C-alpha cells in the first residue's frame, strides 16, 4: 500500500482494536506496523491478533510489520494493611524484604537486587514519580529513606530507581517465555524493555536466534549513559519517553530525544519515538495543539517511525488517532522547512563501498529527474542505508524475502515489494522498472536509480548502481548482462 509520507506509523493493538475490521481499518488509515504489547493479553489473545494481521496482509497484498513488545522486569512495592497510606514530606520510610502487610512506616520491596545496588542519597520514585524517597541508610535486606515528596502510596505501585545501574537482567522469566512464543509465531521485531547495557541486547539476540530483529527501548538513565554501545548491539531503537520522563528531569527528555534520533540516523538503525504522542485522543476525537506539535517535532527530527500506545489499543478513537498522525505527517513532509532540516542534519559516516553507492544514488536522484531509488536487497541492508540518506524521492525495496519486507516496514520512506530472486543484474533492473510502474504509476519515459549487491544473495555487498528507464524494451536493448 503506497503511503504519501515517509515516516512510518506504529499502532498498538488492544481491546479497542481486536477484530479484523478494526485492524484492517487501522492499516488502511495509515498503520504500517502493529505492536503487540506482551504486558497485556495472554498468549491465546496475542496469537489471534497475529493471525488477523497476517490475514489482512494476504488480503491486501502488501507486507505488514509486527513488533512484539516484551514487558521487562516490573519493580513494585508489596501490599498495605489498609490498602494505602499517606506519606508526608520529612517522614522516614523503610523498604524491606518482609512480606508482612505495610504501614505508614514501612512496606515490602521484594527485589533484593535493588538493595544490593542502592547507595546513600540514591532516589526511589514510586507511582511514576508522584512519591520521591531518598536513601539515608541501606543494607542487603532493607533501606531507610527520607520522604522528599509525599503522597498516597498504595498496593503494588511501581518503583523506579534512576540513580544506580541495577543488577537485573532485561529479560524476566515471563519475558523468556513470551520471546520464544512470539518468535515461533513469526513476529518481525522484538522490543526489549529495561535495557541498561549491551549485554542485555546480546542475551535477547541469542534467544531469538535470528527469528526477529532486536529493538532496544531506551527508558533508563543507564541506557542513555551506555547508548552508543547499546545502539551498536541493536537492530533498532525506541525512545520510550514515559519512563525517561519519570527517571530524568522532564526538561532533559526533548534534547535527549533529538540526540538519540540523530545518532540512530547516522548509524542507519530505525528509530521509533513513542509514548503519549496523542494521549488526549484516548477519550477525545481531537488532539491538543501541543500533541500535534509533539508529533510534528519527531517527524522534523527525521525519526523512522512514530507510535501510538493506548490511543489505538484502548482508546475510543483508534482509527481517528492513526488518521491524525497520517495527516500531520503529510503536512509536515510537504513543508520546505522539513527538507531543509533533514538535509542539514545528514551526518552519516561513509566508510564503505555500500555507503558511497547509496550516497551517489541519493545525489543522482536529487540532481536528475528520477522517479525512485530501487534497491534489490536480500537482507534489507541496502534499503536501510538508502533510508539513512533521507532522499527526496521514494525508496522501492525489492526483496525475495517476505521476512525482510516485513522488517523494512519500520524503515523511513521504504515501500516494500516482494520480488522474485534475481540471478543477474538485468533481471533486478527489469523487476525494479515493473515495481515502479505498478507501485508508483511510473511510465516508460520515467527514470529510476537501481542499486544492488553482486553477486546476489550475499549480504552486505552493495556495489552497483545504474540509472535505467521504466520501459522494459529499453532495458533489454541497453542493459548489459
CB 313 within 8 A of CB 14: yes
Judged by DSSP in three states, 424 sits in coil
- DSSP for 33-74, please give it: EEEEETTSS-HHHHHHHHHHHHHHHHHHTS--EEEEE-----
Sheet holding 131-138, edge to edge: 106-108, 92-96, 142-149, 131-138, 123-126, 159-160
Among the listed residues 5, 8, 12, 35, the single catalytic one is: 35
Closest CA to 48 of 13, 16, 72: 13
Residues 428 and 236: their CA atoms lie apart, in Å, by: 28
Among the listed residues 222, 275, 377, 399, the single catalytic one is: 275
Taking phi first (over 0 means left), then psi (-120 to 50 degrees means alpha), and beta for anything else, what does residue 223 get? alpha
- DSSP for 109-143, please give it: ---HHHHHH--TT-EEEETTTTEEEEEEEE-SSEE
Among the listed residues 74, 76, 174, 424, the single catalytic one is: 76
Active site residue 76: yes
Active site residue 426: no
State how far Cα 297 lies from the chain centre. Answer: 16
C-alpha cell, 221: 538513565
CB 85 within 8 A of CB 126: no
Active site residue 478: no
List alpha helices for 275-351, DSSP H: 289-300, 310-313, 318-333, 336-344
Sign of torsion over alpha carbons 181, 187, 193, 195: positive
C-alpha cell, 5: 509520507
Q: What Rg, from alpha-carbon coordinates, does the chain have?
A: 24
Omega of the bond prior to 455 within 30 degrees of 0, cis?
yes
Active site residue 443: no
C-alpha cell, 302: 527525521
Closest CA to 71 of 46, 41, 38, 43: 38
Residues 383 and 453: their CA atoms lie apart, in Å, by: 11
Strands (E), 139-212: 142-149, 151-154, 159-160, 189-192
Among the listed residues 8, 106, 217, 388, the single catalytic one is: 217
Residues 230 and 216: their CA atoms lie apart, in Å, by: 8
What DSSP designation does 411 have? S
Which positions ≥6 away from 13 have C-beta within 8 Å? 23, 34, 35, 36, 37, 49, 312, 313
Residues 110 and 128: their CA atoms lie apart, in Å, by: 18
Indicate which residues carry an active-site annotation: 35, 76, 217, 275
Amino acid at each position: 500500500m503506497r503511503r504519501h509520507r515517509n515516516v512510518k506509523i506504529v499502532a498498538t493493538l488492544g481491546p479497542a482494536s481486536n477484530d479484523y475490521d478494526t485492524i484492517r481499518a487501522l492499516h488502511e488509515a495509515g498503520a504500517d506496523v502493529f505492536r503487540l504489547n506482551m504486558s497485556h493479553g495472554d498468549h491465546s489473545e496475542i496469537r489471534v491478533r497475529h493471525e488477523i494481521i497476517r490475514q489482512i496482509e494476504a488480503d491486501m497484498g502488501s507486507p505488514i510489520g509486527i513488533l512484539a513488545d516484551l514487558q521487562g522486569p516490573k519493580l513494585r512495592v508489596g501490599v498495605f494493611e489498609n490498602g494505602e497510606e499517606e506519606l508526608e514530606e520529612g517522614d522516614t520510610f523503610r523498604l524491606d524484604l518482609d512480606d508482612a502487610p505495610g504501614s505508614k512506616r514501612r512496606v515490602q520491596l521484594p527485589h533484593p537486587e535493588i538493595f544490593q545496588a542502592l547507595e546513600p542519597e540514591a532516589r526511589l520514585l514510586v507511582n511514576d514519580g508522584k512519591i520521591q524517597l531518598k536513601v539515608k541508610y541501606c543494607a542487603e535486606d532493607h533501606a531507610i529513606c527520607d520522604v522528599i515528596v509525599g503522597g498516597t502510596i498504595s498496593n503494588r505501585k511501581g518503583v523506579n530507581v534512576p540513580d544506580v545501574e541495577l543488577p537485573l537482567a532485561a529479560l524476566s522469566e515471563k519475558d523468556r517465555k513470551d520471546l520464544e512464543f512470539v518468535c515461533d509465531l513469526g513476529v518481525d521485531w522484538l522490543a526489549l524493555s529495561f535495557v541498561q547495557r549491551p549485554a542485555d541486547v546480546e542475551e535477547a539476540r541469542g534467544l531469538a536466534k535470528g527469528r526477529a530483529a532486536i529493538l532496544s527501548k531506551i527508558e533508563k538513565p543507564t541506557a542513555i549513559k551506555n547508548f552508543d554501545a547499546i545502539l551498536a548491539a541493536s537492530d533498532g531503537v525506541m525512545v520510550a519517553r514515559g519512563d525517561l520522563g519519570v527517571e530524568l528531569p522532564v526538561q532533559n527528555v526533548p534534547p535527549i530525544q533529538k540526540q538519540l534520533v540523530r545518532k540512530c540516523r547516522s548509524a542507519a538503525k530505525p528509530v521509533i519515538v513513542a509514548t503519549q504522542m496523542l494521549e488526549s485522543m484516548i477519550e477525545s476525537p481531537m488532539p491538543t495543539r501541543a500533541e500535534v506539535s509533539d508529533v510534528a517535532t519527531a517527524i522534523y527530527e527525521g525519526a523512522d517511525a512514530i507510535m501510538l500506545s493506548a490511543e489505538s489499543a484502548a482508546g475510543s478513537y483508534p482509527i481517528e488517532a492513526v488518521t491524525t498522525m497520517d495527516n500531520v505527517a503529510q503536512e509536515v513532509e510537504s513543508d520546505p522547512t522539513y527538507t531543509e532540516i533533514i538535509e542539514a542534519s545528514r551526518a552519516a559516516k561513509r566508510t564503505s563501498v555500500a555507503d558511497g553507492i547509496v550516497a551517489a544514488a541519493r545525489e543522482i536522484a536529487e540532481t536528475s529527474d528520477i522517479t525512485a531509488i530501487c534497491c534489490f536487497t536480500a537482507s534489507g541492508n541496502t534499503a536501510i542505508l538508502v533510508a539513512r540518506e533521507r532522499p527526496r524521492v521514494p525508496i522501492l525495496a525489492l526483496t525475495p524475502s517476505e521476512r525482510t519486507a516485513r522488517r523494512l516496514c519500520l524503515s523511513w520512506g521504504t515501500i516494500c515489494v516482494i520480488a522474485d530472486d534475481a540471478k543477474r543484474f538485468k533481471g533486478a533492473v527489469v523487476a525494479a522498472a515493473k515495481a515502479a510502474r505498478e507501485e508508483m504509476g511510473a511510465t516508460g519515459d520515467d527514470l529510476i536509480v537501481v542499486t544492488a549487491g553482486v553477486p546476489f544473495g550475499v549480504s552486505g555487498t552493495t556495489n552497483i548502481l545504474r540509472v535505467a528507464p521504466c520501459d522494459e524494451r529499453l532495458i533489454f536493448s541497453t542493459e548489459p548482462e
